[in-house]
Amino acid sequence: MALARWALSRSIPPMDRASLPRELRPFVDEVGRLTQWPVKQKVQRMAAAQLAARFEPGREYSEREVNERLLDAHTFGDWALLRRVLCDWRFMERESDGTRYRLSAAAPEPATPDPA
């Protein structure tokens, strides 16, 4: 509950959705948050790369900090799914006890938009 209040209190500037790959745009709102999780794995990986871009390389995050960033990044309320995807697909690494997270050195870059 506290995490939800924290996320709602944040002011998020609008984004240019044209900067996203065409396949990802239907899943992103006007401020860059995911509105639903894509079905196709190719688009899921694009979404995961966009989420990973919200984290700073070389910095360690607590589970709470990861959850807070992910809350800012989506509207469907499943930060655990997003955190699990980031780790399973090696965008992020986590300690075996789940207390510390960091962006993987081998994390793929976010996809660039298709030429229109």
Looking at every residue in the chain, the average pLDDT score rounds to 85
pLDDT of residue 85: 97
Return phi, psi of residue 62, to 5°. -80, 165
State how far the Cα of 29 lies from the Cα of 33, in Å rounded to an integer: 5
Domain count, the chain: 1
Token look-up 């390389």 returns 57
Return the pLDDT at 64.
95
pLDDT at residue number 66: 96
Distances (CA, A) of 70 to 7, 56, 66, 112, 116: 9, 13, 6, 21, 29
In-domain check, residue 113: no
Cα distance between residue 55 and residue 72, in whole Å? 12
Is 32 domain-assigned?
Answer: no
Task: Dump pLDDT digits (tens) for 5-55.
Answer: 444 445 555 677 888 999 999 999 998 999 999 999 999 999 999 999 999
Q: What is the pLDDT averaged over residues 67-86?
A: 95
Judge whether 19 lies within some domain. Answer: no
- Domain CATH code at residue 74: 1.10.10.10
Domain that holds residue 48: 44-104
The confidence score (pLDDT) of residue 56 equals 94
Residues 6+ apart with CB under 8 A from 93: 87, 101, 102, 103, 104
Mean predicted confidence (pLDDT) in 77-105: 94
Domain membership of residue 94 (yes or no) is yes
